Structure 1
Amino acid sequence: MANLTIRNLTVDTIELVEIERYEGERVRTGDVVSNVAGAISSFMNATDFSAHETRAQGDALHKEKANVRVDPFKTKETDIRAADKNKEVIRLTFKVADHRYEVDVPSPSRKSAVMKKLDGGKKELTAVYTHNGAFLAIFSSARLNAWMKELDDEWPLPLLSIPGTHNAATHHKALPSVRCQAATVPEQLQNGVRFLDVRVSANPDNDELTIVHGAFPISLTGNKYLKDHLEDLYEFLEKNPSETLILSLKREGTGKGTDQQMGKYLKNSYVDKKRDLWWTEPKVPTLGAARGKILLVRRFALADDQKKACWNGRGWGIDASAWPDNCEDGKTGGGHIRVQDFYEVTESQNIEKKTDFARRQLERAAEQNFFIPGMDGHKADAKTPPFFVNFLSANYFFNANCWPERVAAKLNPSMTEYLCIRHGDEGKGPNKLKVGSGSTGILVTDWVGAHDDWDLVRCIVGMNARLQHKKK
């Protein structure tokens, strides 16, 4: 039986002070109808569903004091025997900032657990436990609807750890090879997503932009339109002005409109009507400058006259029109973006290759360093690192095992585990690179939020605590 390892990913020192061991009891959750529906959904969509939880039963079988100190962003292997899976629950009591917090390991469900406050502490802490390696990671629990509020205005956006969604609006009933998301866009935003990848089809004779995935509409019940999608974004920003959203737009579908026509439609009929809510200058802003706005990443070309007319001839939006195809680490956006977008997963074995590429891009993002005003090492003329965009998505129409939800069922838990155990830990990445600010970059996911499981998003957002720590 492995010993418990604790990783502290908060800005505070954490002390484990007490351990209690309980017999684990398997408890059925929900009713028969909801469990059958959940099981069918899980079978169809390959997402994790469980009708049972393991809970601590009765009185503690054993109780002992402990004295394990874990400093901020440090990892400590203890001599505490991990819980026997499905048979035992360990209740751990931690002391943080002179207050006590409690968590059961493993948590009753397979998802992360908010630590219980025992004496009115002000900290909000989340624990993520992985049986593989008996590893407990502890994060600060950001308010996911407004997590950017806690960060300094001076941070350039590429230094943030940002959750994103691939084909973000494809949550409707659709062909399983077309649908990429379990949750609606408003639900994604409320739960921390800040990068949205959207594809639209354009026609030459009108400005109505239809949301698509490749050649296919995203809903079996009728077309969905960009104008309605944007209203969701505007409403969110109105309620959460501390946040910024990054919108990546690409032209796809069967419409005969060109990139240049699409660019003019987007500017004249959409963006200009809400100009104060958009960041279209072709440079990367700081968080403070972009709060309350949508940053446009443009995966389509502009007409020459539109480019000349915008921002003194510098263009419009972050130009990512020369997108590197099927790449491990490509460059675009005039040096503003480095991207991992290997999507050609034709066999389920290729998911391992995709996983390795994603981990390497995470490590490259973590290596970047930057010092804002007030920090030692700050230089006013320092070059801002690029966005590290890291797609976890992949799809192959002719193999059901490689449809989006089935790839996500393997990749998402693997990425959660990697973030908890290895990301930002010196020498633990695939290439053993140095760790700078420890960012994850932008992780672009499929099927987050299925069965209300937002663990991957919580882990990404939790990595921003490093920026708070560096600013101290």
Structure 2
Amino acid sequence: MVNYQTWLKEIDDNTRLSKLSIPGTHNSAACHTALPSVQCQGKSVTDQLKHGVRFLDIRAGRQLIKNDDPKQELQVIHGKFPVRIPFPIQLEDVLKEVYDFLDDNKSETVIVSLKQEGSNDWDNPNDEFPNLIWEKYVEPNKDKWYLNTDIPKVGDARGKAVLFRRFGVNNEDRKREFGFDAASWKYNTTDDDRGSFVVQDFCEVQKADDIPTKINYVKDLANKAKDYTKDNDNKLFVNFTSASNFFDHDCWPQQIANALLKSDVADKFEKGVGIIVLDYVESDDWKLSKKLVDSNF
């Protein structure tokens, strides 16, 4: 029986992460009381990791209340909203959950996707956001991160957080030591191949009748990944199951997660389907996450 807390222990060191089926979570830290259209998970980041999740989607922005904060503490954001009301979650606290988990489970690795969200008042030409991420969050903890730009082998990433960088960096020297570059892909894409990674992130579900279309896109990329990774390990497939329409309750994250569970999508979760990014991953006793982990064996 698989131990989901340490499932990577059973994977050969020479296996690239791109060859695996990896459960991930969308807006991973959006697990607290908030607007129902903002909340995406029902369990903490730590609980997610203990149940096999190995890809975290974390969005960070300025303090919404303390814009003049000289310490520039970043909080976790979903779109324009804090993921916890009334007391925001700090990025530092979420990263500490990752570090603590890896300290306790040296055989594991966690892919950490970091994205800038919230306010748009950053000085991007001068790398204000990436410089802050580097100086405040990454460099003081460099021993805890895998910061090479390639897709790592499991053995090289054990005990470390793999940076999946969803923000641009203009400084070429810094870029070479700032993790896997996933700075951009087409909005609302059904299949965007960026060379080193492929993404399905179709998110504009306008009405409940559109949800089966979204689920079919998830299946399509899972099949493409499975076929590709049989003989190759040079592309990371990232497949988002999330979508929403803020103005339609039937298209909020919980409802789409429920529809996914009721579908036959889990039948497509075989070995090598890549990263499947889930909402409410704990649903039905972590059914989809367990199915993904199990498929690796």
Q: TM-score range by the shorter chain?
A: over 0.9
Q: In 2, distance between residues paired with 1:309 and 1:366?
A: 34
Once the 2 structures are TM-superposed, how far is the Cα of residue 457 of structure 1 from its aligned partner? 0.6
Q: Does 1:322 align with 2:154?
A: no
In structure 2, what is the Cα distance between the partners aligned to 1:342 and 1:258? 29
1:309 deviates by 4.0
Is it true that 1:262 corresponds to 2:149 in the alignment?
no
2:281 paired with 1:448? yes
Q: For residue 207 of structure 1, give the secondary structure of its aligned residue in structure 2.
A: coil
Is the CA contact (8 Å cut-off) linking 2:110 and 2:162 kept in structure 1?
A: yes
* 2:5 aligned with 1:145: yes
Give, as a single letter, the amino acid of the residue that structure 2 aligns with 1:325: Y
CA contact (8 A) 1:327 1:340 kept: yes
Instruction: State the 1:212 CA deviation.
Output: 0.4
1:342 equivalenced with 2:207 (yes/no): no
Structure with the larger RCO, 1 or 2 (CA within 8 Å, 6+ apart):
2
Are the counterparts in 2 of residues 243 and 291 from structure 1 also a CA contact under 8 Å? yes
2:269–2:292 CA contact under 8 A, matched in 1: no
Structure 1 counterpart of 2:106, one-letter code: P
Cross-structure match for 2:74: 209
1:389 and 2:241 correspond:
no
Distance 1:309 1:159 in 2: 28
| Residue number in structure 1 paired with 2:296 | 464
Structure (1/2) with the larger strand percentage: 1
Secondary structure of 2:24 counterpart: strand
Quick check: 2:38–2:83 contact (8 Å CA) kept in 1?
yes
What TM-score, normalized to structure 2? Answer: 0.93
1:418 aligns with 2:265: yes
Deviations along 1:272-325, one digit per CA (max 9) or x if unpaired, are 111111011111110100111111111111132xx3245xxx352111112221
SS of the residue corresponding to residue 401 of structure 1 reads helix
The question of whether the paired residues in 1 share the 8 Å contact of 2:21 and 2:275 is answered with yes
Q: Which amino acid aligns with 1:389?
A: V
- Partner in structure 2 of residue 409 of structure 1: 258
Q: Following the alignment from structure 2 to structure 1, what is the Cα–Cα distance between the partners of residues 162 and 217?
A: 26
1:246 aligns with 2:111: yes
For residues 370 and 353 of structure 1, what CA distance do their matches in structure 2 show? 26
CA displacement at 1:331 relative to structure 2? 2.4
The letter of the residue matching 1:442 is: I
- CA separation in 2, counterparts of 1:351 and 1:456? 18
SS of alignment partner, residue 180 of structure 1: coil
Q: In the alignment, which of 133, 144, 150 is matched to residue 283 of structure 1?
A: 150
SS of aligned partner of 2:239: strand
Q: Superposed, which structure 2 residues align to 1:418-437 within 5 Å?
A: 418-420=265-267, 422-424=268-270
- State the 1:410 CA deviation: 0.2
Aligned-pair identity in percent equals 39
Distance 1:200 1:347 in 2: 28
- Secondary structure class of the residue paired with 1:248: strand
Contact 2:24 2:276 in 1 (8 A): yes
Q: Secondary structure at the match of 2:72?
A: strand
Question: How many residues matched?
Answer: 290
Is this contact kept in 1: 2:130–2:167, CA < 8 A? yes
> Which residue matches 2:211?
351
**Partner Cα distance (2:276, 2:262) in 1:** 13
Amino acid at match of 1:400: H
Counterparts of 1:387 and 1:398, CA distance in 2: 33
In 2: Cα distance, 1:230 partner to 1:207 partner: 16
Cα distance change of structure 1 residues 423 and 145 upon mapping to structure 2, 3 Å threshold: closer
1:165-196 Cα offsets, whole Å, 9 max, x none, are: 00000000000010000111111000000000
Map 1:214-233 onto structure 2 (within 5 A): 214-233=79-98
Local SS of the residue matching 2:185: coil
CA distance in 1, matches of 2:278, 2:123: 28
Match of 1:299 among 139, 152, 166: 166
The CA deviation at 1:370 is: 5.3
Match of 1:195 among 34, 55, 60: 55
- The residue type equivalent to 1:198 in the other structure is I
- Equivalent residues of 1:210, 1:226 under 8 A apart: yes
| C-alpha separation in 2, matches of 1:243 and 1:231 | 15
Q: 5+ unaligned residues in a row in structure 1: which ranges? A: 1-123, 125-141, 372-382, 425-437, 466-472
- SS state at 2:292 partner: helix
Q: How does 1:79-94 map to 2 (within 5 A)?
A: none
Structure with more of its chain in helix, by fraction: 2
**Cα offsets for 1:189-242 (capped at 9, x unmatched):** 000000000111146964311110001111112111100001100000011010
CA 1:207–1:159 in structure 2 vs 1: closer, same or farther (change >3 Å)? same
Structure 1: how far apart are the matches of 2:275 and 2:198?
Answer: 10
SS of structure 2 residue aligned to 1:349: helix
Q: Secondary structure at the match of 2:189?
A: coil
Distance of 1:300 and 1:271 partners within structure 2: 14
Structural mapping, 1:97-108, within 5 Å = none
